[in-house]
Amino acid sequence: MSLYNTQKFLYELNRDEATQARYRADLEALIGGFDLTGEESNALREGDIGLLYVLGVNGQILMHYAAFLGIEWFDYLDQMRAGIEKYGPVRAGVYAMTGGGDSFTTEGKES
Amino acid sequence: MSLVYAGVLSHAPGITGRADLAKNTGLRDEFYAALDQQRQEIEASGAEALIVVAAEHFANFFMNNMPAYCIGIGDRYEGPIEDPDWLKIAKTSVPGAGDLAAKITREVMHTVDVAYAEEWKFDHGIMVPLNFLTPQYDLPIIPVNINCQGPPLTPLPRAWAFGEALRGACDSVPEKVAIVGTGGISHWPATPDSGKINEAWDRDFLDRLMRNDRAALMDYDDEETYQEAGQGGFEIRTFITIAAAAGGLGELQFYTAELPIFAVGCTVAKFSLDSAS
């Protein structure tokens, strides 16, 4: 697992408009520039928020990436929860699970 | 003396980005009014520059080279790095105060080792406060970051010492300087637990902060904070730095845990400026 490299990919994508342009023009080439596992590459290729969360990507990085992908806030939270359901608990990084993944927001998508 | 204002406020991206989703619009607007009051107090102080002590969110630094503390000494900054439609803050250019910031950095270095940067991209951690405190972006900003995300984190007594060093530096320059710290108390930002707030923990921390009780503020360890206040709780470092810089008692102007869509206990407070210790 190369969580460091996965987060570095997202860090550079989040803050650098030139990297964002490369992402849109040739994602495979961008991914190829980082030493990533197949699972990590697929997660980035598919924008799999749930898997990236389970792999241990910091929320401050993941949240901005989700916004870049145009994922709405409640969908972002749901995709992390679905990731836990599908892939199991967070495997690495600063957080293992800090709670059960319940919603603590009284507001909802309908609001 | 040239430090003319010290205060703290929350910075969560939902405060602007999810404003329309808040159910309790009355409470939301009370919070916004408290932030506007803070803006007026900073303006009334005659501040010529505003130091914003923020929490690093991987907008500028990564784990290849993560400073415990960094001061921006540039003349202009860009922000937000986030999608402007998501944050609901347009991309803009913000004036810095490079010469003043360099003088402050030199002075701080007598007691605290800091990194400095002439390039800096603002994320929500600074842009949300500026959106309320200098909405015209006409007050020069000196950004300051404390690493609150990527352990190992700076110990709390060092955050206190950093605040004292900033105070001494501000008092050594002729310009009038305001300082705000921006962070969260308990919160679990950007995780599935977003919206969870430990109000009792928050209020206990704020009580210690408003009393400016150094011993009580130092009596936290990160493991306990993580359990009770989440990863976001590590950002108490920014508030502690301001308490140390101010030296005087705090006045809590607004706090609520009842806006979970903002994913943080929304806080506004100011401090009296006692003589630097």
What residue spans define the domains of chain B? 3-273
User: Are B238 and B166 spatial neighbours (Cβ–Cβ below 8 Å)?
Assistant: no
Q: Is B2 exposed, middle or buried (0-12, 13-18, 19+ CB in 10 A)?
A: middle
The shortest CB-CB distance from A94 to any of B13, B82, B151 is to B151
Q: Which residues contact B68 (CB under 8 A, 6 or more apart)?
A: B115, B146, B147, B153, B154, B158
pLDDT of residue B120: 95
Alpha-carbon gap, residue A81 to A64, rounded angstroms:
17
> CB distance A94–B64 less than 8 Å?
no
Strands B69-72 and B141-146: antiparallel
Going by pLDDT thresholds of 50, 70 and 90, the confidence category of residue A102 is: low
Task: Look up the domain containing A72 and give its range.
Answer: 3-87
Dump pLDDT digits (tens) for B62-96. Answer: 999 999 999 999 999 999 999 899 999 999 999 99
User: Are B234 and B150 spatial neighbours (Cβ–Cβ below 8 Å)?
Assistant: no
Dump pLDDT digits (tens) for B220-240. Answer: 999 899 999 999 999 999 999
User: Is A23 within a domain?
Assistant: yes
Q: How far is B277 from chain A (nearest CA, A)?
A: 35
Going by pLDDT thresholds of 50, 70 and 90, the confidence category of residue B151 is: confident
3-class SS of residue B136: coil
Domains in chain A: how many in total? 1
Which of A3, A69, A80, A107 is best to mutate for the B interface (most B CBs within 10 A)?
A107
Q: What is the DSSP letter of B68?
A: S
pLDDT of residue A92: 85
> CB distance B149–A99 less than 8 Å?
no
B→A interface, C-beta within 8 Å: 13-14, 17-18, 21-23, 57-60, 62-64, 81-83, 86-87, 121, 123, 149-151, 188-197, 226, 230-231, 260-261, 263
Alpha-carbon gap, residue B266 to B33, rounded angstroms:
12
Q: CATH for B3-273?
A: 3.40.830.10
The shortest CB-CB distance from B188 to any of A11, A98, A106 is to A98
Cβ count near B58 (within 10 Å)? 23
pLDDT of B276 above 90 = no
Q: Which one, of B56, B51, B67, B49, lies nearest residue B8 by Cα?
A: B51
User: Is A83 within a domain?
Assistant: yes
C-alpha distances in angstroms, B274 versus B121, B164, B196, B238?
A: 33, 12, 35, 19
The shortest CB-CB distance from A104 to any of B82, B150, B195 is to B195
From chain B, the residues in CB contact with A64 under 8 A are 81-82, 123
Q: Which residues contact B128 (CB under 8 A, 6 or more apart)?
A: B11, B12, B13, B15, B16, B87, B89, B182
3-class SS of residue B52: strand
What CATH number does residue A68 fall under?
1.10.700.10
pLDDT of residue A97: 46
Higher-pLDDT residue of B48 and A107 is B48
From chain A, the residues in CB contact with B23 under 8 A are 106-107, 111
From chain A, the residues in CB contact with B226 under 8 A are 98
From chain A, the residues in CB contact with B63 under 8 A are 4, 7
User: Are B199 and B69 spatial neighbours (Cβ–Cβ below 8 Å)?
Assistant: no
